[in-house]
Amino acid sequence: MASCNSVLFLLLLFMLLTINSFNITAQESKISLSFPLTSVPLSKTFASKAKFLSSLVMSSRSNQTRRLHRKNAAPSSSPPFNYNYKSSFKYSMALIVSLPIGTPPQAQQMVLDTGSQLSWIQCHRKSPRKPPPTTSFDPSLSSSFSVLPCDHPVCKPRIPDFTLPTTCDQNRLCHYSYFYVDGTLAEGNLVRERFTFSRSRTTSPLILGCVAEPGEAEGILGMNLGRLSFVSQAKVPRFSYCVPVRQPRAKINPTGTFYLGHNPNSPTFKYINMLTFPQSQRMPNFDALAYTVSMVGIKIGGKKLNISEAAFWPDAGGSGQTMVDSGTQYTFLVDAAYAKVREHVVRVAGTKLKKDYAYGDALDMCFDGNVKEVARLIGDMVFQFEKGVEILINKERVMDHMGGGVHCVAIGRSESLGIASNIIGNFHQRNLWVEFDIVNRRLGFGVADCSRSML
């Protein structure tokens, strides 16, 4: 990932999974699996990098690796994903899901990230003298695990649009490196392993990253449109999630729902098309693997802001792209759009602004004092898309509590992160079903109470 000059802290994450039960139910001749979970603190090393992004802005955002195209399809050996998987997840500031990996399966906690490609897990061989993290994957216990050698086609540098810098290590195995926007390095070996949803429902061996360094994050489930993402390799036709609202002062993080494949709630969704661009059209600031949508405006307090639709559409260099990302916490806008949002906030609540203050060098519409009064002054916010589809953010959910009584409007200037895109983060996806329909190249939204038990 490209480095960034601004100081970024990654999201403070609190959650791990404990499988309490295992259910298999038949639905439309397909299989649905359900795994309840509970939460415990994550690794302190990862938590110390707290901030807004999980992994959207990484090496795939650099000029060299932005030149990606969907012509690199998933391996043809992978069968269609013709079964369903349902999982609960705990939400603090990132979406943590658990997937069964290996033969027999080992439950692995992973950050659900629609902004990145490569999935990776911690890999540690169990040793009584030096116990690994409790969530790590033990390759020696899986009969389907294998490591990619240097001569594997994926590891060869002649592939011009491959997103991972790879080298041969001293054992002639394929080694990769991933740089995140805050300078964090994730590196390890590329491996092949199955996802085992049941005895009769497994994927073909998929290419993953296997990180052996202690203290790394629990893992990433890369879900963008890249050829090495979980979605592409497993040929998942659609997936969806429902992000719950965190209650103030709640000690337990709320539980959300995650589907791979069919979602029984989809008949109620409203859909917008994903934007596609010619493969020959290479734009240095454009991420061709992101879920890009056509946003047309923003309303606040019932009034549409005077923002040109061009601010939400990629220009000749790719700047202005609007994407939906589960791995970014807050929403970030390009200057032309952000300035109008801030202009409204200053006009209606400027006297209450916390002067000369910016949370994390990125959010600068912050307030002390009576948050309900400020929220009333600002009003409800609406993100507008094509076909009249809207995402409504109630005034009570426009701001987030940053600690110490400070609340900030959960929108920042994207240039403060060193990028030139509009990003709708998971904070503004709460109490929504968000479906990524890969087959029909569209995104669906459905209003829901995501903290309740879902079908």
pLDDT digits (tens, 9 = 90+) for 364-395: 999 998 899 999 999 999 999 999 999 999 99
Over range 297-302, report the average pLDDT: 97
Tokens of 97: 């899901």
Catalytic status, residue 161: no
Tokens of 288: 């061709």
Does the pLDDT of residue 67 top 50, yes or no?
no
pLDDT digits (tens, 9 = 90+) for 180-217: 555 566 788 999 999 998 888 899 999 999 987 655 55
Q: What pLDDT is stored for residue 184 in this prediction? A: 62
- Show the domains of the chain with their CATH numbers: 32-42+91-236 (2.40.70.10), 263-447 (2.40.70.10)
Nearest CA-CA partner of 238 in 212, 206, 260: 260
Q: Backbone phi, then psi, for 293, in 5-degree steps?
A: -130, 165
Confidence of residue 66 (pLDDT cuts 50, 70, 90): very low
Does the pLDDT of residue 13 top 50, yes or no?
no
- The active-site residue, picked from 113, 287, 400, 437, is 113
Distance CA 245, CA 427 (A): 8
What is the maximum span of the chain, computed from C-alpha positions, in angstroms? Answer: 64
pLDDT digits (tens, 9 = 90+) for 178-188: 665 555 667 88
Average pLDDT, the chain: 78
Does the pLDDT of residue 87 top 70, yes or no?
yes
pLDDT digits (tens, 9 = 90+) for 233-254: 999 999 999 998 877 666 677 7
DSSP labels, 27-71:
ETTEEEEEE--------HHHHTT-BSBSSSSBGGGSTTTS---TT
Tokens of 66: 């932005």
CB neighbourhood size of 140 (10 A): 9
Instruction: Pick 175 or 112 by higher pLDDT.
Output: 112
- The active-site residue, picked from 151, 169, 287, 325, is 325
Over range 116-121, report the average pLDDT: 90
For 374, residues 6+ apart whose C-beta sits below 8 A from its C-beta are 349, 352, 367, 399, 407
Instruction: Pick 128 or 240 by higher pLDDT.
Output: 240
pTM of the model: 0.82
The percentage of the chain sitting over the pLDDT mark of 70, rounded to a whole number, equals 72
Please classify residue 204 by burial: count the beta carbons closer than 10 Å to its beta carbon, then call 0-12 exposed, 13-18 middle and 19+ buried. middle
Catalytic status, residue 364: no
